[in-house]
Structure 1
Amino acid sequence: MLFELSPPFCAGPIRIGMSHADAHAALGALGTPEAYGSGWVVHRSSSGSSVFAYFDKSEVVEAIEIYTPVAGADEWDRVLWAELDVFATPVEELVGKLRQRTTVIEEENGHSYTLPELLLAFWRSITPETEDDLEGRHFESVLVARPGYYDGPAATSGDA
């Protein structure tokens, strides 16, 4: 499946500001929604990907995350932002292109990158240890957030 990211509005069929019921229905079209912390998650058996919808104190979607365990697999969900394939593009190349457009904050020794102006965040579980190391060359997760999400603790704001 193809998920197009359009921050701060949506990630695929999941929209920022959706109610619990609407998010459950949208996720239901992707698989079987399960409760997960303050939200819902669908684990997609066809691709191994997971799609999360996180809710704020007002009970509306404040962030959407898409996770893929194996970047570059034959049967995986594609995620595009501004025509960039988030999981297929190597981290160094993707971050370079992102830095041409906005401020990119690198955190956790290269595991996490946040783009507060675009309301996007990217994550990978490991970073390559050597030039020849193939592991950690691609992101595993991307998050789309609502305006204000990066201004402070998400739990303090009920705005969607």
Structure 2
Amino acid sequence: MEIEIRPHVGVGPFRLGMSVDEARGTVQERGLFRTVASDADPGQITLTHDASRLSIVLGFTKGALSDVELFRFRNEDADVRVLLDGLDVFRTPSEDLVGQFAERGHTIGESDLGFDALPELKVILANESSYEYPVDEAGDPVYYDYVLVAHQI
């Protein structure tokens, strides 16, 4: 499965600005994700892909999709690629990824809160999970495990 992050547009089939009903219809039509939680008029819809254990949270403001959060799969053998500008954000070591984004002309801002931002793309990348993902010799996470795509960051 490949999921493309399209800044200013959305993630995969989910387009920023789409209504709650359109998002639910997309989930139902594609059949790839199971809805974990959702109210009748949700602020969020939480989705999971059972085979990979990848999670997606669709955030709504005034009934329109305003942000999409992706949480890295927990099944390391999963056939999942999450792509931003052709680069796999969850399988490319985060240090390499930052360099590759810079080579492509993207500005990367580091936050004191522990995340990296691509402000012109309205994308945030972070290592924030408590799950046991691959770590380097110093015990630091090798890969990003979180992506936020939004109208505003």
The two structures have a TM-score, normalised by structure 2, of 0.82
The 5 A counterparts of 1:30-49 are: 30-33=32-35, 34-35=37-38, 38-49=43-54
CA contact (8 A) 1:47 1:75 kept: yes
One-letter amino acid of the counterpart of residue 9, structure 1: V
| Cα distance in 1, alignment partners of residues 25 and 34 from structure 2 | 10
Indicate conservation of the 8 Å contact 2:110/2:117, yes or no. yes
CA contact (8 A) 1:48 1:76 kept: no
Tell me how far apart the structure 2 counterparts of residues 86 and 134 of structure 1 sit (CA, whole Å). 20
> SS of 1:46's equivalent?
coil
Task: Give the unaligned 5+ runs of structure 1.
Answer: 151-160
C-alpha deviations, 1:21-63, integer Å up to 9, x for none? 111122333322222872101121110100111011x210011
- Answering whether residue 109 of structure 2 is matched by residue 105 of structure 1, we say yes
The one-letter amino acid of 1:83's match is: G
Contact 1:30/1:42 (CA < 8 Å) preserved in 2? no
Residue pair 1:16, 1:145 contacting (<8 A) in 2 also: yes
Runs of 4+ in 1 over 4 A off after TM superposition: none
Contact 2:128–2:146 (CA under 8 A) maintained in structure 1:
no
2:84 counterpart (74, 81, 87): 81
RMSD of the alignment, in Å?
Answer: 2.2
- Cα separation, 1, equivalents of 2:78 and 2:70: 15
Count of paired positions: 142
Q: Is the 8 Å Cα contact of residues 68 and 76 (structure 1) preserved in structure 2?
A: no
CA shift, 1:82, in A, is 1.3
Range 11-20 or range 132-141, more displaced: 132-141
Flag structure 2 segments of 5+ consecutive residues without an equivalent: 130-134
Separation of aligned partners in 2, 1:143 and 1:125: 12
Residue number in structure 1 paired with 2:70: 66
Letter in 2 for 1:26: T
1:45 and 1:131, CA in 2 relative to 1: closer, same or farther beyond 3 A? closer
Shift of 1:76: 4.7
Deviations 1:55-91 (A, max 9, x none): 11x21001111111438x1115210111101111001
Partner of 2:132: none
